[in-house]
Structure 1
Amino acid sequence: MTAAPEIAAAPGLEQVLAGCVVLITADRRSAELSAALERRGATIRHAPAMRIVPHEKDAELAAVTRALIADPPAIVVATTGIGFRAWIEAADTAGVADELHAVLEQARIIARGPKARGAIQAAGLTADWVAESETSAEILDLLLTEGVAGQRIAIQLHGAGADNLDVELAAAGADVQTLTVYRWGPPVDPQAVQDTVRATAAGEVDAVVFTSAPGAYAWFEAVDREGVTDQVLARFADASLVAAAVGPVTARPLLERGVDPVMPERSRLGALVRALVSHYEHDRTTELMTVAGRLQVRSRAAMLDGHVLRLSPTGLEVLRVLAGRAGDVVSRQELLDALPGCSLDPHAVEVAVARLREAAGQQGPQARQLVQTVVKRGYRLAVQPA
């Protein structure tokens, strides 16, 4: 049996996520997100549930942009940062960037959240109002309350459409023009999505990170297609699997499934990483206390008193079963049934326990007492009394 590979520490950063396998479901900025989590010790699996597809009819987007320049809107709604930036870039390619900028300077610009506001500011413009909830519903409520009859409104659509914002405003008497800058498409690697969904259901993933609502919906659709919905939801429910969402809009598909995600106060990738790290920092303070220190068993490794134990898959599974009993005795037969493979030799349990003790003993003499033998009954984890 081969010991698990040693997890290298990033200089200056505590390896809070050591042993954690984190699944990233996002396409855009996934490398940045992966690097930030890896610096905290996480092992990354990457399988975007969908991808961003640029608008295929650039001529149509240019034509709509020119129409807005010729007949300027009173209100412009920016729904996403990436979409607004892409619109400005498309106008530049079409040679009408200056004209569009002049039109936007005269319009009332409404941003659907901080990301859209950031893109507006990057273009040298100012958002007149920001929907802090990042929902189209908040924008709709504002505009309908103020009244939009007879006003020309331009809406930059996000990948999933306009959430009926265009329909509702048109019904209220507005002259609505929509701009499709990008849309969501199928994943680049459907097999990777399928494999990681099954791995998540099987307990091989500790956390799943979501950065968009369409991506979250697509991931759960993949879960449903693979027939592992009950297993995945059960893991979320017992906290063996953690969901992390970048903001309230992204969290909505999870909440609809009864999953309560880790979520930062500000919808930023950096804040999302900090929120997930903070969750595991807190998790470590509430884990099982043993005679050798605090123990946390994760999908790929175990942490004992802040150190990663070098365990084979067999040793890790033995420790997982013992930790699940929290100090109660586990019979040799139960441990044998839990071992990877299909061994029927009771001696395999003795070997696995011996190697587990050896690995734990590298953390100090006290750690050698982590697993205790109960004569004629089995083994137990040496936990500290409450």
Structure 2
Amino acid sequence: MNAPPTSGSDRPLEGFRIGVTAARKVEEQIGLFERRGAEVVWAPALSQEPHTVDDADLRAATEEVLARPVDLFLATTGIGVKAWFAAAEGWGLLEQLRAHLATSEILARGPKSVGALRRRGLRELWAPDSEAFDDVLAHLRGRDLHGKRIVVQEHGQSLSMAAHALRRRGADVTTVTVYRTVSAEDPTAMFHLIDEIAERTVHAVTFTAAPAVAALMDAAGSTGRREEVITAFQADVVASCVGPVTAAAFELWGVPSIYPDRSRLAAMVRQLEIELPSRARGLTLELAGHQLLLHGDEVLLDGVEVKLSPAPLAVLHLLAENPGHVVSRAHLLAALPSGTAGSEHAVEMAVARLRAGIGTRSVQTVVKRGYRLAVPTS
């Protein structure tokens, strides 16, 4: 991919092409990018409206919740809480449901579910900073749940495995499915974006929901280009996520991603506004007493070009993403080009070749953890 020229501060993304996978409220995101000069490729990964479950099924689940006292209520999405309470209002059960849940200990996955609860007069006892449901479960890990009745509002994808894990600890779990996320009805735009990613004609792709990551990877698999997409994300195309929950969906594929400190759309756009021009200019590092310039596949050490084969170059790119931080052998192995022998020995060989190219002291081994670049510490 040819890097675009750097641009003025009023249009910092001039010359960059950015894929957007959001389905709902997409106009705001596209507008933020276009005002900054970017060209947007829109390919909704999911249906523009969540797929609401059958009304009778949801009412039956609600009546099951109301049948017995609730000890713990786990609220996972704002849209799910709002839709459930709206449906209960239509059945004439809203006040009964609200009063019933008010007697329980309420845990919320993030600020949107917190907001939806408070609008109905309910207060959460605790919510994780990470907005990750796994952290809600971790919060419960040390507690005795035997005999406790837990109601879990699902967040678009099945939480049956989480429910099974809670039941193993003696809890009585009821899941309430309000809606399901489903792939976009017409995959044409998604197939086009997959081609652009594989051919590296986009510089970044944004994701605002974990199911969008799964939908893109499923679509890439159906076109036979999944490995190319993964390789492109590992090398040239930035996978930009709105927060850690969405970013975690990429870990399964060994794809590095970036996300802002605050899980907000504007923060994600601002991060790319800084990240993409920085990558276009190249990355300069002080490394074991030398200056290393990394610009795409071009590597200069003290101004002299260093030729690296694909495997050590992939290792260098991954180590340079977080200079000075340890990267595990497993993550380095996942970043190696397809066709490389799938073992930690392949990582060791790639690191050895990298050291031969940029200096033996440039890459440090951290015993039982992995490797890191020898950059000066502040």
TM range (shorter): 0.5 to 0.7
Pick closer, same or farther for the CA change 1:67–1:264 going to 2, 3 Å. Answer: same
One-letter amino acid of the structure 2 residue matched with residue 256 of structure 1:
L
1:66 aligns to what SS in structure 2?
helix
Aligned residue number for residue 22 of structure 1 = 18
2:50 aligns to what SS in structure 1?
strand
One-letter amino acid of the structure 1 residue matched with residue 178 of structure 2:
V
With normalisation by structure 1, the TM-score equals: 0.66
2:88 aligns to what SS in structure 1?
helix
With normalisation by structure 2, the TM-score equals: 0.68
Aligned partners of 2:275, 2:212: CA distance in 1, in Å? 22
Pick closer, same or farther for the CA change 1:263–1:208 going to 2, 3 Å. Answer: same
1:136–1:163 contact (8 Å) kept in structure 2: no
Pick closer, same or farther for the CA change 1:118–1:277 going to 2, 3 Å. Answer: farther
1:169–1:176 contact (8 Å) kept in structure 2: yes
2:174 aligns to what SS in structure 1?
strand
1:236–1:259 contact (8 Å) kept in structure 2: yes
Pick closer, same or farther for the CA change 1:272–1:122 going to 2, 3 Å. Answer: farther
Aligned partners of 2:239, 2:124: CA distance in 1, in Å? 32
2:82 aligns to what SS in structure 1?
helix
CA RMSD in angstroms comes to 2.8
Q: How far off its partner does 1:277 sit?
A: 1.5
Q: Look at both structures and tell me which one has the larger radius of gyration over its CA atoms.
A: 1
1:198–1:226 contact (8 Å) kept in structure 2: no
Q: How far off its partner does 1:282 sit?
A: 3.2
1:1-386 aligned at under 5 Å gives the runs 14-51=10-47, 52-162=49-159, 164-239=161-236, 241-283=237-279, 286=282
Aligned partners of 1:237, 1:198: CA distance in 2, in Å? 16
Q: How far off its partner does 1:236 sit?
A: 2.5
Q: How far off its partner does 1:85 sit?
A: 1.6
Q: How far off its partner does 1:84 sit?
A: 1.5
Aligned partners of 2:281, 2:112: CA distance in 1, in Å? 34
Pick closer, same or farther for the CA change 1:118–1:274 going to 2, 3 Å. Answer: farther
Q: How far off its partner does 1:76 sit?
A: 0.5
One-letter amino acid of the structure 2 residue matched with residue 280 of structure 1:
L
Aligned partners of 1:69, 1:247: CA distance in 2, in Å? 34
Pick closer, same or farther for the CA change 1:238–1:150 going to 2, 3 Å. Answer: closer
1:263 aligns to what SS in structure 2?
coil
Alignment deviations for residues 293-334 of structure 1 (CA, whole Å, 9 cap, x no partner): xxxx9xxxxxxxxxxxxxxxxxxxxxxxxxxxx9x9xxxxxx
Q: How far off its partner does 1:281 sit?
A: 4.5
Aligned partners of 1:19, 1:120: CA distance in 2, in Å? 43
> Where do 5+ consecutive residues of structure 1 fail to align?
1-8, 289-296, 298-325, 329-386
2:53–2:177 contact (8 Å) kept in structure 1: no
Aligned partners of 1:213, 1:263: CA distance in 2, in Å? 13
Q: How far off its partner does 1:208 sit?
A: 0.6
Pick closer, same or farther for the CA change 1:63–1:237 going to 2, 3 Å. Answer: closer
One-letter amino acid of the structure 1 residue matched with residue 77 of structure 2:
T
> Where do 5+ consecutive residues of structure 2 fail to align?
1-6, 285-294, 296-302, 306-378
Aligned partners of 1:116, 1:41: CA distance in 2, in Å? 34
Aligned partners of 1:234, 1:166: CA distance in 2, in Å? 35
Alignment deviations for residues 327-368 of structure 1 (CA, whole Å, 9 cap, x no partner): x9xxxxxxxxxxxxxxxxxxxxxxxxxxxxxxxxxxxxxxxx
Aligned residue number for residue 340 of structure 1 = none
